[in-house]
Amino acid sequence: MKTKIVILSILISYLSIGVGLSQSREEMISSLDGAFKLESTSVVFSKVIEVEDVDAATLFDRVLPFFSYRDDLYGYEVSVTNRQSNYIIAQGVYKSIIYSFNSALGYLTKINADHVVRVDFKDNRLKVEVTLVSAKEYRSNGLNGPLRYYSTMNYSLMYPANPQEKEKLSRSEKKDLELFYKTQSNVNITFDNILKFAKKDNSSDSDW
C-alpha cells in the first residue's frame, strides 16, 4: 500500500512538473521580469494592495488571522506583530516547490523555500513583501527511502537573479529558472490570500 502511495505521489509530481515545464524559457523569464528586486543577498517580491475606506488598524486585524489559517506554512505564531507601528513579520516555508524522481540515479528530490513575509499597514492600503531566504533540497536513498537534507541554495546566486548572458541556458540555469518560476507561483498565492483577508469584513460574523 505504501509503495502505491509513493508511486501515486510521483505521478502527481510529474504532472505538476509538467505544468511548469510546459512554459517556455521566454514565458518564464517574461513572468519573472520586474517581479522581484535584489537586496544585498536577498530576493524580494512585493505588492501594494489597495482597500478603500478601511483604516490601518482594521486591516491589521483582518490580515493577522491569515498566518494562523496557513499554519502549515507559518506555524501557529507569527514572528513579530507590532500594532503601534502597524506591521507583521512571519517566517515560513513553501513546501515541495520541486518534487521529482531522478530515474537515472534512482532518488527522489524535494525542494522547500524558506521565506519571510512582512506586511506593513496604512489607511486604505497595505504592502506585502516576501523575501526568499534560501531553497533547501532533500533527497532520498532510492525510491522508498526517507528524504534527507542534501543542500541549501541562495536565490540571489541563482538565475535569473544572477543572470548569465548566454543564448542557451545550462542545465543548472534551467533548474534555477524552473525553481524561481514555481516559487513565484507560491508568492502570488500568498499575495492573493492576504488580499482576500484584507477585504473580508468579519464584523458581521459577530453581530448576530
**Cell triple for 1:** 500500500
pTM confidence score? 0.82
Look up residue 74 and give its amino acid.
Y
Upper half-sphere CA count for residue 42 (Cβ side, 13 Å): 13
Q: What pLDDT, in 10s, does the model give residues 129-168? A: 999 999 999 999 877 889 999 999 999 999 999 887 667 7
- Residue 137: give its domain's CATH number: 3.30.530.80
Question: Interior CA angle at 172 toward 170 and 175, to 5°?
Answer: 110
Look up residue 176 and give its amino acid.
D
How many domains does the chain divide into?
1
24 falls within a domain: yes
Look up residue 150 and give its amino acid.
Y
For the chain, what percent of residues have pLDDT higher than 90? 59
- Residue 29's domain comprises 2-201
User: What is the reported pLDDT for 145?
Assistant: 84
84 falls within a domain: yes
**Could you give the angle at which helices 56-69 and 171-199 cross, rounded to 10 degrees?**
120
Nearest to 32 by CA among 45, 47, 19: 45
206 falls within a domain: no
CA of residue 177 relative to chain centroid, distance: 14
Q: What pLDDT, in 10s, does the model give residues 20-44? A: 446 788 899 999 999 999 998 899 9
61 falls within a domain: yes
181 falls within a domain: yes
Q: What pLDDT, in 10s, does the model give residues 82-106? A: 888 899 999 999 999 998 887 777 8
Is pLDDT above 60 for 4? Answer: no
Is pLDDT above 50 for 10? Answer: no
pLDDT class of 58 with cuts at 50, 70, 90:
very high
**Could you give the angle at which helices 2-21 and 171-199 cross, rounded to 10 degrees?**
90
